[in-house]
Structure 1
Amino acid sequence: MEPQSNAAHQAQNGELSDEIIDLEEYSSSGRPVPKAKKYRIRIDKEKYVVQVTDMTGREILALAGKTPEKFLLRQKTKGGVEEVKPDQSVSFLKPGVERFMTIPKEVTEGEGPTVRRQFKLLDQDMQFLDGTGLRWETIMEGGVKAVAVHDWPLPPGYNVSHAQVHVRMTDGYPDAQIDMAYFSPALNRADGRGINNLSGVVFDSQQWQQWSRHRTPSSAWRPGIDDLSTHMALVDDWLAAELLK
């Protein structure tokens, strides 16, 4: 049995721990977040220490020197990415809270990057992608239909914190499964240990690292339930599981 942390022991005894509770660390290890005097939260790439158990979206943006008039706020959790509205309260004690991301509300006309929409997605897939707050594209090349998402967040432990990722939409989707994932730049473990079952492919005029990860009978595709959002949750699980090997 995993030894109980000092913070958890103090919480059991009705005491508030003096330890700074790092939400990202607790979430990645699957531990429940105890009540404490201080919490460390990550907003984009910076970490901040706060002395409250909950804050509104407006207050979280203010920590990073931003306002809801100019920025959107997203919360990364174990279950995916969720919108946080300005007056919505976020509890740091809620299981699975990892970190927060800010997104500029608009770009000056003519300055934004080109976003390609070369084939149509299901409404539920577009809602999922829009909900991430990340830039995404649909790309067709050589009969391959791919959904590419820019700046996909990676768990600490890789050579980069964000990467472009694409997945390929198979004929017959959503009844037919989505398989594997492709990253650019190539991912490596920060500790230097190798990652099995990787290969390089060229798509959309750039090099991608193919992660050959496949569903097992216990995680078989469920038509009517599984879609792009559940596949990307599985991709996140692959990334986290790799670091535990």
Structure 2
Amino acid sequence: MEPNSNKKNNTMTKNKTDLRECYHSGVKPEIAYEYEFYINEQPHRTKKQIITGLDLHELAQTNSTTHFISMKTRANKTLIGPQVQINLTECGIERFTILPFEQQALDIHECYCAGSTPYITYKYIIKINGDKYEVNQEKITGLEILNIVGKAPDNHRVKMFSKGGKVLIGLQEVVDLTACGVERFVIEPLDCTEGFIRTDLPLQLIKEDLSFLEKFRVVNSISNGSSDWLVLRSCTLPDGYNVQNADVAFMIPKQYPAAALDMFYFYPPLSRADGLPIGALTLQAIEGKDYQRWSRHRTGDNIWDPETDSVGSHYDLMINCLKSEFKKR
């Protein structure tokens, strides 16, 4: 009895198909006694060749009313409804992801700011030249990033900012968005006839700044004695202020980007629509006008880094300060 029992057990062991192994080896899964696959990086097994979304929820102990299922195949990602049937012998299934609906889209830039590792989900929000875009893939190439913003690959390049610094991304180079430390992407023109160019801008601006400034209709440089000012005209402000748009000025030090950008200046001066006061304000004469200076400075946890910071990151800091104003009082 025992030899036969061992023979049976060996047969059952051999008659198991591991979908992830099939995916990585590029072979079509065989019909088997048992199938092994991964949900949220945890292995699960079933004897069913065809399973439904409800079966997956049961294995993961989740509910279709509160959680979504994403199936990752070689071709794409697919949302799986409760009644959708999946043939496990179809080629190319790598894994399943089941998460609460509120985690369906993950902001990669917010993960970077929070110092957290991105999780695998269905959609990702990435930052390109200061704007945010949704993608439904955790791995993306430089060419795909250029296509998102409609830039030609023959005269533009992609630069990635991450915890490790900034690097150029080749057209076919793959970036894993779930890797910890990815912050944002910048598209840079490769010649001076493309994109945003103004001859009156401060000479110390870097290429990344010129790419960022493309999103603004009018940008000017003001020289005021020993100071150079970059003025972004008619910027859209967060809700809650007396005006919806204002001119924003940044003082550009002669040693920029080695020297940090600091504080923000607005014209016309801002006030809160609810009438509550705003702290640490004063007036600054720029281009013959009284700009309102907001005395806001970086903390020890957010020190200026000339390798990663720029006009764009200072603008983002300004927007965050304008929004945070309403959390203070």
Superposition RMSD on alpha carbons, in Å? 5.4
Distance (whole Å) between structure 2 residues aligned to residue 40 and residue 150 of structure 1 = 26
Question: Please, which of 115, 134, 143 is the counterpart of residue 212 of structure 2?
Answer: 134
Q: How does 1:60-139 map to 2 (within 5 A)?
A: 60-69=145-154, 71-73=156-158, 75=160, 84-100=169-185, 102=187, 114-116=198-200, 121=204, 126=205, 129-132=206-209, 133-135=211-213, 139=222
Corresponding position of 1:182: 265
Cα deviation per residue 1:104-147 (whole Å; 9 max; x = unaligned)? 666769x97643256x65xxxx5xx2233334876422x24124
Secondary structure in structure 1 of the residue aligned to 2:143: helix
1:16 paired residue number: 97
TM-score normalised by structure 1 residue count? 0.56
Paired AA for residue 200 in structure 2: R
Contact 1:78-1:98 within 8 A present in 2 as well: yes
Q: What is the DSSP-based 3-state SS (H/G/I as helix, E as strand, rest coil) of the residue aligned with 2:199?
A: coil
Judging changes above 3 Å, is the alpha-carbon distance between structure 1 residues 86 and 95 closer, same or farther for their aligned structure 2 residues?
same
**Partner of residue 56 from structure 1, selected from 110, 124, 141:** 141
- Tell me the equivalent position of 1:3: none
CA shift in 2, pair 1:12/1:117, >3 Å? same
Which runs of 5 or more residues in structure 2 are unaligned? 1-38, 44-95, 214-218
- The structure-2 alpha-carbon separation of the partners of 1:36 and 1:176, relative to structure 1 and needing over 3 Å to count, comes to closer
Structure 1 residue 33 displacement after superposition: 0.8
Q: State the aligned residue count.
A: 219
Question: 1:166 is matched with which residue: 250, 261, 271?
Answer: 250
Letter matched to residue 279 of structure 2 = N
Matches within 5 A, 1:207-218: 208-214=291-297
> Could you tell me whether the CA contact under 8 Å between 2:160 and 2:186 is conserved in 1?
yes
Amino acid of the residue matched to residue 97 of structure 2?
A: L
**Structure with bigger gyration radius:** 2
Q: Which amino acid aligns with 1:130?
A: K
Q: Does 1:35 align with 2:106?
A: no
**1:218-229 alignment to 2 at 5 Å?**
none
Q: Which amino acid aligns with 1:204?
A: E
Shift of 1:210: 1.3
Q: Which letter maps to 1:169?
A: P
Q: Which has the higher contact order (CA 8 A, sep 6+)?
A: 1
SS in 2 for 1:16: strand
Tell me if the contact between 1:21 and 1:38 (Cα under 8 Å) persists in the aligned partners. Answer: yes
Partners in 2 of 1:161 and 1:94 — Cα distance?
37
1:40-91, CA deviations, whole angstroms, 9 ceiling, x for partnerless residues? Answer: 33556563231x2111121122234443235444556689987544333322
Shift of 1:35: 1.6
Q: Which runs of 5+ in 1 are unaligned?
A: 1-9
